[in-house]
Amino acid sequence: MDIILTGASGFLGNSIYKLLFEENIITLGRYNADIICDLSNTIPKLITADIVVHSAGKAHSIPKTDSQKQDFFDVNVNGTINLLKGLEQSTVVPKAFVFISSVAVYGLSQGVQINEQAFLSATDPYGQSKIQAEQIVQEWCHKNNVTCTILRLPLLVGPNPPGNLGAMIKGIKKGYYFNIGGGGAKKSMVMAEDVAKILLIASKTGGIYNLTDGYHPSMIELSAHISKRLKKRGSLNVPEWMAVFAAKFGDLIGNRSPINSHILLKIKANLTFDDSKARKALGWKPNRVLDVF
């Protein structure tokens, strides 16, 4: 089976590439790829493939400038448009297209068991760019009779993870990570390897799916697990009143502060997503993150 994979050098893309190595994978990226192309500003010259897995994208971060905000749309939206234009210019369009999206499209900072029917209310540049890219992919697949699969992912877990999880691990290693108000908030997460394992099945079925580990560990459980694995002492806890005081001070000083009231609300709140649709339609049976990470 011929598979075009974008973002193979990324955290998830690397897991996909390693797992599907027995297939004929053609990688596309800005460097270290079979097809060298910056999708944000170039239409790639592609060969015929059975499946396209679009894993490339600008990861979630907080932009501080208008230029950084625009980067999300250049990479996640224009990059998707250029990839689809490249597919149209190839000999035959693929049978299936898998788009890696994010639960950020829901635009929620708290909630429990949010499913795929929830309104896409993201207003931040990252969430907005993913919503637009999803819509573009769905319209293109419908027009070209291509099976369309969209996977909405929460926090991705695996060896040497980037982002917030990577920062947590570093903080625990250095001894400066702490939980707030007991760290009881539950968050959805999923192993990158499990996402890679379900790709081919999902590509044949089509549809939009949340993927989680189904357990949704609390921050105290996750930090305690990582501390034990690293043979470090358990994480410290900051009383909620102290965190509220720091957050209010952060509101006053702006972007220079590592915490403000909005960030504190996200840290304290449960945010979990329902993956029952994937379990029924795809036979999704992921590992529990705390069992394998």
CATH number reported for the structural domain that contains residue 119 in this entry? 3.40.50.720
pLDDT band at 265; cut points 50, 70, 90: confident
CA distance 242 to 236: 13
The CA distances from residue 142 to 81, 96, 139, 148, in Å, are 15, 11, 5, 8
pLDDT score, position 244? 83
Domains contained in the chain, number: 1
pLDDT band at 261; cut points 50, 70, 90: confident
The residue whose two tokens read 């089976």 is 1
Q: Considering the domain boundaries, does residue 171 fall inside one?
A: no
CA distance 12 to 64: 25
Q: Considering the domain boundaries, does residue 108 fall inside one?
A: yes
Q: Please state, as a whole number, how many other Cβ atoms lie within 10 Å of the Cβ of residue 180.
A: 22
More confident residue, 293 or 60: 293
For 104-149, how does the pLDDT look when each residue is reduced to its tens digit (9 = 90+)?
999 999 999 999 999 999 999 999 999 999 999 999 999 999 999 9
For 85-97, how does the pLDDT look when each residue is reduced to its tens digit (9 = 90+)?
999 998 789 999 9
For 165-215, how does the pLDDT look when each residue is reduced to its tens digit (9 = 90+)?
998 899 899 888 888 888 999 999 999 999 999 999 999 999 999 999 999
The CA distances from residue 165 to 125, 145, 233, 283, in Å, are 21, 38, 18, 27
Task: Report the amino acid identity of residue 48.
Answer: T
Q: Residue 250: which H helix or E strand, with range?
A: helix 240-253
Which residue range(s) make up the domain with 94? 2-157+189-211+273-286
Q: Considering the domain boundaries, does residue 234 fall inside one?
A: no
pLDDT score, position 258? 67
